Chains A and B, each alone.
Chain A
Amino acid sequence: KAGVTQTPRYLIKTRGQQVTLSCSPISGHRSVSWYQQTPGQGLQFLFEYFSETQRNKGNFPGRFSGRQFSNSRSEMNVSTLELGDSALYLCASSLGGSAYEQYFGPGTRLTVT
C-alpha cells in the first residue's frame, strides 16, 4: 500500500498571501489529521477530519482551515500568512473508528518571507 502523500513538499510564500496544502491518505483510511511542527513549539495538533467532517480542532486561529473530500483526500489552507507560520506541516491518516494508529506523510515545508 502506498503511504501518505503530501504536496507540495516545499513552498515559499510572502507575508499576507494564502496557501493550500494537500494530503492523500493511505487507501482505506478515512481519518486525516493535520499538525504543525516547529523547533520552538514542537508538534501541535491543528484539526482532524473524518468522512468530510471536522471532528476536532486544536488551538489555532481561524486563518487555519481545512476540508476533506469524499475520497478522504484533505486540504488545509492558511490565509494571511505570517512569518510565524513557517513550519513543517504534517498530515497523518488512520482508519478511523476505534483505530488510533496514525501514519504520517513526509510533510510540507512552508517558508514565509
Chain B
Amino acid sequence: QQQVKQSPQSLIVQKGGISIINCAYENTAFDYFPWYQQFPGKGPALLIAIRPDVSEKKEGRFTISFNKSAKQFSLHIMDSQPGDSATYFCAASENTGGFKTIFGAGTRLFVKA
C-alpha cells in the first residue's frame, strides 16, 4: 500500500518531442505529489508538485496531470531538450504527524539531439 509504481523504466525521445512518465499509488492518505529530476552525481532537485485537489499543474515546459479517482499522475515534458536527459522520480508524501515520502523507482530519460 506504500508503493509508488513508476513507468517506463527508461525513455528515449527525439529533441522537440513530448516525454511522458506515469506513476500510480495506492495509499489514499498521500496528499502531495512531487516530481524530482536527478543528474549523475547530484541530489534530486524538485521540479514540480501537485496536491490532489488539482487535476493539472503547468510550469514552463513541465506539466503534471493528476487523476485522483484512478490514483494516477503523470509528468509531461513538452519540447524535450538534450539538457532534460536525466533520471526522473515521482513521489508521494503524507503528513501523519510527520512527513513521509515514498519514491517511484525512477525513469531514465534520454533526449536525442
Contacts and interface: CB of A to CB of B under 8 A. Distances in A.
A98 B89 CA distance: 22
B45 A104 contact: yes
Nearest to A107: B43
A100 B34 contact: yes
A106 B45 CA distance: 10
A100 B32 contact: yes
Q: For chain A, which range describes its interface: under 10, 10 to 19, 20 to 34, or 35 or more residues? A: 20 to 34
A43 B89 contact: yes
Among the interface residues B97, B98, B102, which one has the most CB atoms of the partner chain A within 10 A?
A: B98
Interface in B1-60: 32, 34, 36, 41-46, 49
Contacts of A48: 98-100
Contacts of B43: 4, 90, 92, 104-107
Nearest to A33: B99
A101 B102 contact: no
Contacts of A4: 43
Interface string B67-106: 0000000000000000000000101010111111111111
Contacts of B36: 104
Contacts of B105: 42
A58 B44 contact: no
Contacts of A44: 103
Interface in A62-113: 90, 92, 94, 98, 100-107
B103 A98 contact: no
Contacts of A103: 46
A94 B44 contact: no
A58 B93 contact: no
B45 A55 contact: no
Interface of B: 32, 34, 36, 41-46, 49, 89, 91, 93, 95-106
Interface of A: 4, 31, 33, 35, 42-45, 48, 50, 54-56, 58, 90, 92, 94, 98, 100-107
Given A31-B99, A45-B100, A100-B32, 19 more contacts: A4-B43, A33-B101, A35-B103, A43-B91, A44-B103, A48-B98, A48-B99, A55-B98, A56-B97, A56-B98, A56-B100, A98-B95, A101-B34, A102-B34, A102-B46, A102-B101, A104-B36, A105-B43, A107-B43
